[in-house]
Amino acid sequence: MLALILSTLSARQRAADAAIAYRGRTKFLGNTNDRVQLNVRNILDEHDLVPNRVLSTGQYVAWARVEPRVFVFTVGFDL
């Protein structure tokens, strides 16, 4: 399985995440199912401030930082 999620939040700002996974059987643990997965959040590594609160007039009143690039590696077994 390979997934790439790309969403455009505004003209200046983009967010992209990716995931790759493998599912199979492991013989050394008694022929059990296993799963290995790698997720990457914020693949573009954007660090900009993003507006997260806007008044009805269109004025930005609160800002937030985007989390930097994060790698998450997961391994699972069905015992």
Query: Domain segments of the chain: what residues?
Result: 2-78
pTM, 2 dp: 0.63
Q: Which tens digits make up the pLDDT trace of 7-22? A: 545 545 667 888 889 9
Higher pLDDT, 74 or 44: 74
pLDDT at 71 over 90: yes
Q: pLDDT at position 1, please?
A: 54
C-alpha–C-alpha distance, residues 41 and 20, integer Å: 12
Closest CA to 67 of 42, 35, 32, 43: 42
